[in-house]
Each structure stands twice: as structure tokens, then as C-alpha cells.
Amino acid sequence: MTTSTELFGGTMLSPVPDPYSVYRRLRREQPVIRTRNLLGEDHLVTRYNDVVALLKDPERFSSRGNARGIGIVMGRTILEMEGKEHLRHRKLVTPFLTPRALRDGLEATIAAIAHALIDSFVADGHADLVAQFTFTFPIRVITHVIGIPMEDYAAFHRWALDLISVGEDPPRGFAASQRIVDYLRPVLDARKAEPRDDLLSALVHAEVEGQRLEDEEVLSFLRLLVPAGAETTYRLIGSALFALLTTPQALEAVRADRSQVDWAIEETLRWEAPVQYVSREATEPVTVAGVEIPAGSLVSACIGSANRDETHFPDPDRFDLYRKPEDHVAFGFGEHFCAGSHLARAEAKIALNALLDRLPNLRLDASQPSQVVGLAFRSPAHLPVFFDR
């Protein structure tokens, strides 16, 4: 049995530059491979058709597997819920993340946040778009949606990053979980007394089957939403910028026809999925690609590999603006399809348009090479650019 370090040369949170060559070999030689990590034995599934079949089969591949991973610091969340319980809880949060919410004023707020960030460096003629834009933009948006004071977004971002590192640094992950709880309890009590038009107020006053959510249920929701709303979207925007800036024809096409921004985002989701793995648990003995998986075993659907499966996407390692990959699995599949997908796409579209509008002749700083890195999560760590003032 092998580990991620032996397979990829790094751990799940290491800045691995290229897992795709390994995925390519696994799809060809070992489409399901047994691995070991801090959570125990796992089965990595790499082919597109197998990943889709797995995600569409909640009866045999249960999302309760997440309770053995990130759930240990987030508490019980919709990530591990199933069936009617999952639907009831999902309905509480989705109204704040839908296209209607965007039309009802959230889109204008997102744009204002984007332009305020650009204002801070637009006069310089250069910037690191990760450090100065993509890294902080989505956390500002999600804290606004939740109802967390904007001035506290930086602390929340640190805690969110520590939270998802629990597999590599358990004490840091648990400490971050407790800090989020300590911060939110008085805010939660305040919303009980005086509700506002935000997600936190909706959660503390919501009822599921005639009963209010317990405080711990609300806190678990928020421990999920903060990293989900910040970590994944900042990576999507950073990778989309990297793709366009390293593909000049695509960048010029998007400049000339902004309707292509939508397809640039979809191709980025396929080409560099921000989240590379989705965890499930086998509810019964199953066989995938000829490999027997015992009941109770963890199974990881490799989103990053599925989206680059050459049997489904021709020339998959190439970023192709005109590919129009409507069947990528970056947001998952089935009943656990990402509830925040509309918000993530909207944030990415607003961000890309704002940057193209405000930064003429945007181009990479060739003296400081950048690349997309990561294993469990992927994006550029830095994106130094020049633009005309």
C-alpha cells in the first residue's frame, strides 16, 4: 500500500507541481489504487466514468465518509448527511447562494468588493494578484453573506486554512475549529435577539421538521461555509487568471468578447479543479475497475484525474477556451453537487471582468515565474503581473 508522498512526491497539502502525470499512469495501469494517509486506508478512483458512477450512486458510496475526514473538526454538516436529512438542511443555506440572491443585491456587493481591492493597487502598474486580490476577495464575500463583520475576515481566513489542514496538522485544525466557535457564539446570541438579513440570522431562526437548529448545528454549518466559500473560490479565480495569462490567444478572445468569460471559468474548472478529491464510504462490498473494495472502506473520487481523462476529454492537458466542457465534475455530481456553485461562478465572472476592465494590457511578470501547485487543492501560490497605468 502506498502513500500520497510516495505517489506524488508530497503530502495532500504540499505544493505538488504536477500530479497529472501520475494520474495519467494510474488511469492506464491502476485505475483504482489502495493508499494510506492519516485517516487510514483509502481507495483512489481515477477514471472519469468510474468517478461519475461513484458520485451518482449514494446507496453504495455514502457521503458519511466525510465524517472520518474534515468532519472531525467541522462537526456534523451537510457534507456527510444523506437523503431527506441532507435535503432539509441544504434548503436552509441555498437561498443565500442562488441566482435570485445574486439578482437581489448580492452581485452588486460582490462587484463593490472586487473594485475596492483593485483600487488598492491599480495606480502601481504591478501587483501579485494572489496576495492582493484572489486570496482575500472570496473570504470578504462569504463573510458578508454569513453576516460576520468585514473587519474580521482576515482572522477567519487564517482559521479556515488551518481548519482544512487537520489531516496534516491535527492540533492546528482543532485549535482553529475552537477559535471559530469562540468567536461566533456571541455573534450567534446577538442574532437570536436581533435578526438581520444575513445567513447567520436565517440559521439561528430556522426550523427543521418543526424544531430549531441547535447551536452546534449552526456552528457546524459555519465551520463548513467559511473554508468552502473562501478556499475553493480563490483558487478557481487564481487558476483562471493563470490560464488566460499563459494562453495569449484565449486572453485576447476574452478581452474581445466578454461572453467567453463564462467558458473560461468552466474550462478552468475542468483543467485545474480547485478541489481535487471527493470522499465517500463503501456501504457494501463493491468492485470498481476490477478492484474489490470492502464495505466500510474509504473511497476517494479523484476529480482532478477524471477531468483530465483522455478517453472523455480530447487533449485534456491543454487549456482550450472553446472546449465548452459542460460535463466536468469539479463541483461533484448527484445530490451532493456543490450548493455554492452559482456563487463561485458569479464571483469568478465578476472578478475576471473587473480585472480586465481596470488593468489594461494585463500580463505576467516574466522575471517571477508562477505555476499552479497543490494536490488536494490546486492554484497558483503567486501571480505577479504588470499592467498599464
- What domains, with CATH codes, occur in the chain? 2-386 (1.10.630.10)
Residue 65: pLDDT band (50, 70, 90) is: low
Query: Using one digit for the tens of pLDDT, what is the confidence trace for 197-240?
Result: 888 888 888 776 676 777 887 887 787 777 777 788 999 999 99
Residue 2: pLDDT band (50, 70, 90) is: confident
Asked whether residue 192 carries a pLDDT value surpassing 70, the answer given is yes
CA distance 287 to 318: 32
Burial letters for 288-309: b for 16+ Cβ neighbours within 10 Å, e otherwise? beeeebeeebbbbbbbbbbbbb
What pairs with residue 379 in β-bridges? 373
In this prediction, residues 180-185 reach a mean pLDDT of 86
Give the pLDDT score at 117: 97
Give the pLDDT score at 361: 96
In terms of DSSP bridges, do strands 286-288 and 291-293 run parallel, antiparallel, or are they unpaired?
A: antiparallel
Asked whether residue 241 carries a pLDDT value surpassing 70, the answer given is yes
Give the pLDDT score at 269: 97
In this prediction, residues 304-321 reach a mean pLDDT of 97
Long-range interactions of 360-364: CB distance < 8 A, separation 24+: 360/387, 360/388, 361/386, 361/387, 361/388, 362/245, 362/251, 362/386, 362/387, 363/245, 363/387, 364/245, 364/246
pTM: 0.91
CA distance 350 to 29: 41
In this prediction, residues 316-337 reach a mean pLDDT of 88
Lowest mean pLDDT among 36-50, 55-69, 157-171, 365-379: 157-171
Query: Using one digit for the tens of pLDDT, what is the confidence trace for 3-41?
Result: 778 888 877 777 888 999 999 999 999 999 999 876 678
Give the pLDDT score at 38: 63
Give the pLDDT score at 71: 59
- Is residue 229 within 8 A of residue 141, CB to CB? The reply is yes
Lowest mean pLDDT among 139-143, 164-168, 266-270: 164-168
In this prediction, residues 128-148 reach a mean pLDDT of 91
In this prediction, residues 89-112 reach a mean pLDDT of 76
Give the pLDDT score at 67: 59
Give the pLDDT score at 74: 62
Give the pLDDT score at 78: 64
- Is residue 377 within 8 A of residue 10, CB to CB? The reply is no
Asked whether residue 347 carries a pLDDT value surpassing 70, the answer given is yes
Asked whether residue 373 carries a pLDDT value surpassing 90, the answer given is yes
